[in-house]
Chains A and B, each alone.
Chain A
Amino acid sequence: MSMNTQGRPTGIGSTGTAASGSALLPNEPLLFEIGDTEHSGVDLPDVTIGTDRLGGFARQTPLDLAGLTEPEAMRHYVRLSRLNHSIDSGMYPLGSCTMKHNPRLNEKMARLAGFSDIHPLQPVSTVQGALELMEQLSHWLMTLTNTAAVALSPKAGAHGELLGMMAIKAAQEAKGEAHRRIVLVPESAHGTNPATAAFLGYTVKPVPAREDGTVDVQAVQDALSPEVAAIMLTNPNTCGLFEPQVIEIAKAVHEAGAFFYCDGANFNAIMGVVRPGDLGIDAMHINLHKTFSTPHGGGGPGAGPVVLSEALAPFAPVPFVRQGETGLELVEHQQDAALGRVTAFHGQMGMYVRALTYMLSHGGDGLAQAAQDAVLNANYIKARLQHAFSVPFNDYPTMHEALFDDSFLEGTGVTTLDFAKALIDEGFHPMTMYFPLVVHGAMLIEPTESESKQTLDRFCDVMEELAADAKAGNTERFTAAPLKAPRRRLDETRAARQPVLKWERAPELPKAAE
């Protein structure tokens, strides 16, 4: 079957108009199959100009770029949008990813011209409101974490992690301890943690987890040496557990002359309830998009401010805001010990607006309530499902996510993946599967605080029913799933073995012999 069809419009797929049996759930052709190089949805005058100012570099090769008129574009993108699940269309119990309600007030505020239509290099006298906003956001973040400084500029959580570890590296070098080349990373860490450490040239040394899913202070002590630069610990960890020995771990790390980097991806479980600075962390990134509800947009943008302890504050990157004599100032150039700049301009201003709007809406009291409700919801799911599913770690209450494993599927012929796909047919986004890696066949469920009891009950009912069905041997429901999604299961192996990463115009077919 030819995938690349010229002209427009095209019928795609073996079943004609709709793969999933509904004419309202369309098979949408590619933009390049419906548009052409003549049509445009933007009215612009076609000026004639000389090209002598272009230095001889005027374009010779054609763009071959498809265009759509405005009504065609509306239909194309509205029709495509309907092929997506989203938090506004249903629950997203995706562990470790925190899909909570995105208030539209945040969007409305981010679109105020005073925030969206200002340039990062305008004279600072003309952007005092923007600098004030950055200062207010910094105040909230430092207060919630009890830390000495914050670097707002990182573009995403993983970028913040990189910056935090850069600050640690710079601090170690400033102390004359550049020989510290090892970073301790618990086995349960996010993949970004070892990738970040390796990216900066560190050797990654794993720290094993205890039977109960937490990190043992003794194991950390055993791994510490004069060569260790830092530990990267997630708290609450990826098993959904608060590390009970975190204060002792911080103490041991500091006594060994190392720093404590905390992966703050799960800060939403403790915001307003526990201040990471009180636990002894030196640096922690905060995913504004997870904790403070900025939209994920199908893959980003994120925003990953990093809070820093007194010891690391001098190594914060530029830019930052400070009070000057005539107003707020923006420090944009490298200080003596600072590590420089990790992104052009000042970071994700659009996300700062959304996050501060969310913070002000909740207030300090509401953020604490949100964390408590997130924890309540996760424990409620755990309580409701632990009879039908197996819980690998049960010594502590879970935090904002409930972890199960797939041992209940043993001998049923249903895999964890099959189970997840069956959940799609029931109208839910699947939970996170096979992560954290420390648990075989992990199923990680994060309801967040914005799900009602009614929704949680319906989700648990479906989960119980699916578990019973799997155990009863009704495997077809699982292996064939999803049946009610815009696509059936996709061939990922084929995509990786023969990568097709862009649309190509089909070669002109030779004319049939006359």
Chain B
Amino acid sequence: MRYLPHSEAERSEMLAAIGADTINALFSAVPAKALKTFDLGLPAHQPEFLVEAHMRALAAKNHTGSDGPFFIGAGAYRHHVPATVDHLIQRSEWLTAYTPYQPEISQGTLQMLFEFQTQVAKITGMDVANASLYDGSTGTAEAVLMARRLTKRNKVVLSGGLHPHYRDVVRAYLKDDADLECLAASPEGQGDILDHIDEQTAAIVIQTPDFYGHLRNLKTAADAAHAKGALLIVVITEVVSLGLLEAPGALGADIVVAEGQSIGNALNFGGPYLGLMATRREFIRQMPGRLCGETVDADGNRGFVLTLSTREQHIRREKATSNICTNSGLCALAFSIHMALLGEAGFTRLARLNHANACKLANALSAVTGIEVLNRSFFNEMTIRTAQPAAALVERLAARGILGGVPVSRVEPSEPGVENLIVLAATELTTDSDIAALCGALAEELA
């Protein structure tokens, strides 16, 4: 077995040193009836080339993003990841390091996290960021709980433009909580969350661009929330948008949660992804997750450590701010490297390119008979109303080799009136010929 270093002779030698006759003697605390004396019926070990063949066969059954025109977004985006990013994150010292509990021999990870926190704070326009959470959806649930702790109020209002999966995760975290108000889906970009804020409200949660692609007015929302002593939680699923759109921090956001997958991380069929969280300085002691801080060592040299851990489960146990005991270290590294490669110039250009392609897509779709683009404003994603039921239409496009967006009914099956809606995204990878292929196919299907 290629991963196990012992020879049988070494095993015998070690058992002798222990004073045990057999390996089973070391399992003597296991009740006899529970010790395996049966065949599990699982296949035996295989050489590397056979395992690889098995996995390749499974992979080959999937239609990948580069197999044809691709327009799916809805919370996960297909962007180009520079080769340098994937090369660097596979270096042993990053890939196979553990949580930096021994800071003296973990300065690489710690300095990277400090740089990552700085990058996230800068793009969101907030004072501080943590060292990442699992993903944007669980981060949103954590932000809601954090707002409740901060305000000592219970009511939370989720806007109808919040990603339906994110809403469902918050619901699961606050199961049966009467103080959670989820507004109806708003594919047209309507629905006024501001009417739902009162003196019991801990926070309102607004996504921008929202699930349907509409850009939302954060300044108005922040003012309305703050007037009643509530907090504004801003959710961003397409972090590239921050290259072109005003920073939530500059518009009054109190907590910003984002999905960081777009930068440095592949689609991966939904995970692993990267939750970003940033907030105001005065809220850091209620922020869940890890934090990396600057300090000095015994020689006076600058160094970094995990800090403020008195909020965490390994110190506070049942009084901890959350049960989270990890972060998305490797995904944060990929994000940070990609962001360093982009820099301000590249990040801005990337955002412009995404928006430019989305403008082309919107214009082309508008010209197709039987299609209406619902968005007046958007970044790289939009909702269309189609003359025929959307789910079947998307299936027919897939049969033609085109992945043409997400039918809204797939994520909002119980919402009335969404049967003919599709959410589509363009990124820097979207080409003119992709757009022509999509629009041509739609025109034929809808004719």
Docked-complex contact A361 and B2, CB < 8 angstroms: yes
- Within A473-502, the residues touching B (CB, 8 Å) are 482, 485-492, 494-496, 499-502
- Quick check: is B227 within 8 A (CB to CB) of the other chain? no
Docked-complex contact A272 and B247, CB < 8 angstroms: no
- Within B218-253, the residues touching A (CB, 8 Å) are 218, 242-247, 250
- Within B283-297, the residues touching A (CB, 8 Å) are 284, 290-297
Docked-complex contact A158 and B313, CB < 8 angstroms: yes
Q: Which residue of A lies closest to B342 (CB)?
A: A42
Docked-complex contact B137 and A343, CB < 8 angstroms: yes
Docked-complex contact B51 and A345, CB < 8 angstroms: no
- Quick check: is B119 within 8 A (CB to CB) of the other chain? yes
Give chain A nearest CB distance to B82 CB in angstroms.
6
Docked-complex contact A301 and B329, CB < 8 angstroms: yes
Give chain A nearest CB distance to B27 CB in angstroms.
7
CB-CB under 8 A from A92, the residues of chain B are 98
Q: Given A300-B326, A344-B169, A495-B294, output 6 extra A-B contacts at Cβ < 8 Å.
A: A49-B355, A57-B218, A83-B107, A121-B76, A140-B42, A397-B29
Docked-complex contact B307 and A496, CB < 8 angstroms: yes
Which of A94, A130, A424 is the most central at the interface, judged by chain B CB atoms within 10 Å of its CB? A130
Q: Mark A124-166, 1 if CB is under 8 A from B, else 0.
A: 0111111011000000100110000000000111110110001
Give chain B nearest CB distance to A265 CB in angstroms.
10
- Within A60-84, the residues touching B (CB, 8 Å) are 60-68, 70, 73-74, 76-78, 80-84
Q: Which residue of A lies closest to B13 (CB)?
A: A453
- Quick check: is B434 within 8 A (CB to CB) of the other chain? no
Docked-complex contact B403 and A120, CB < 8 angstroms: no
- Quick check: is B447 within 8 A (CB to CB) of the other chain? no
Q: Mark A38-51, 1 if CB is under 8 A from B, else 0.
A: 11111011110110
CB-CB under 8 A from A514, the residues of chain B are none
Docked-complex contact B107 and A84, CB < 8 angstroms: yes
CB-CB under 8 A from A499, the residues of chain B are 284, 291, 293, 307-308
- Of A106-114, A220-228, A406-414, the segment with at least 4 beta carbons within 8 Å of chain B is A106-114
Q: How many A-B residue pairs have CB under 8 A?
A: 723
- Within A379-434, the residues touching B (CB, 8 Å) are 379-380, 382-384, 396-397, 420-421, 424, 429-430
Q: Mark A94-124, 1 if CB is under 8 A from B, else 0.
A: 1001010111010111011111111111110
Docked-complex contact B48 and A80, CB < 8 angstroms: no
Decide yes or no: A120 and B267 within 8 Å by CB, A247-B34, A360-B46 being known contacts: yes
Give chain B nearest CB distance to A294 CB in angstroms.
9
Give chain B nearest CB distance to A448 CB in angstroms.
10
- 9 inter-chain pairs at a CB distance below 8 angstroms, sorted by A residue, are A40-B349, A109-B59, A121-B74, A155-B135, A273-B30, A342-B173, A376-B11, A376-B18, A424-B102
Which of A194, A300, A363, A377 is the most central at the interface, judged by chain B CB atoms within 10 Å of its CB? A300
**A382 vs B284: C-alpha distance when bound (angstroms):** 42
CB-CB under 8 A from B315, the residues of chain A are 191
**A3 vs B43: C-alpha distance when bound (angstroms):** 57
Give chain A nearest CB distance to B422 CB in angstroms.
11
**A408 vs B196: C-alpha distance when bound (angstroms):** 64
Docked-complex contact A82 and B108, CB < 8 angstroms: yes
Decide yes or no: A296 and B96 within 8 Å by CB, A44-B349, A380-B17, A492-B307 being known contacts: yes
Of A58, A340, A348, A362, which is within 8 A of B272 by CB? Answer: A348
Decide yes or no: A273 and B35 within 8 Å by CB, A364-B41, A495-B307 being known contacts: yes
Docked-complex contact A195 and B296, CB < 8 angstroms: no
- Of A7-15, A252-260, A461-469, the segment with at least 4 beta carbons within 8 Å of chain B is A7-15
Docked-complex contact A27 and B301, CB < 8 angstroms: yes
- Quick check: is A373 within 8 A (CB to CB) of the other chain? yes
Decide yes or no: A46 and B352 within 8 Å by CB, A198-B318, A364-B41 being known contacts: yes
Docked-complex contact B91 and A344, CB < 8 angstroms: no
- Quick check: is A375 within 8 A (CB to CB) of the other chain? yes
Docked-complex contact A61 and B247, CB < 8 angstroms: yes
